[in-house]
Amino acid sequence: MEQRVVHFQGRVQGVGFRYTTCQEARALNVTGYVKNLPDGRVELVAEGEPAELDRLLAGVREQLGGFIRSEQTDTLPATGHYNDFRVTH
């Protein structure tokens, strides 16, 4: 199990980014959250098996890639802190 913290930049707010990411995550065995940041980026924190996290990020890129200019990913050990996946504010 691992945690991935991804910061997406581009036109990622106001285009259904969080909703779509949440739907992708809920279809997988992934927990965590997605939220808008004040600086215009979107933060995704997801925990699960590496293959499930790869699927989540591939799905986000496939559906929303046209809005993403860049992304930064950090991989950390999973915390087990999350029970589900949700949009937070």
Give the amino acid at 50: P
Say yes or no to pLDDT of 43 above 90.
yes
* pLDDT recorded at residue 22: 96
Task: Give the Cα separation of 15 and 28 in Å (integer).
Answer: 22
36 is catalytic: yes
The kind and range of the H/E element at 77 are strand 68-77
* pLDDT recorded at residue 89: 86
Catalytic pick among 36, 69, 83, 86: 36
Q: Give tens-digit pLDDT for 54-88.
A: 999 999 999 999 999 999 999 999 999 999 999 99
Catalytic pick among 4, 18, 41, 55: 18
Structure tokens at 57: 């990020």
Q: Mean pLDDT, to the nearest integer, of 7-27?
A: 95
- Domains of the chain (ranges plus CATH)? 2-83 (3.30.70.100)
Task: Give the Cα separation of 87 and 63 in Å (integer).
Answer: 17
CB 76 within 8 A of CB 2: yes
For the chain, give the percent of residues with pLDDT over 90: 98
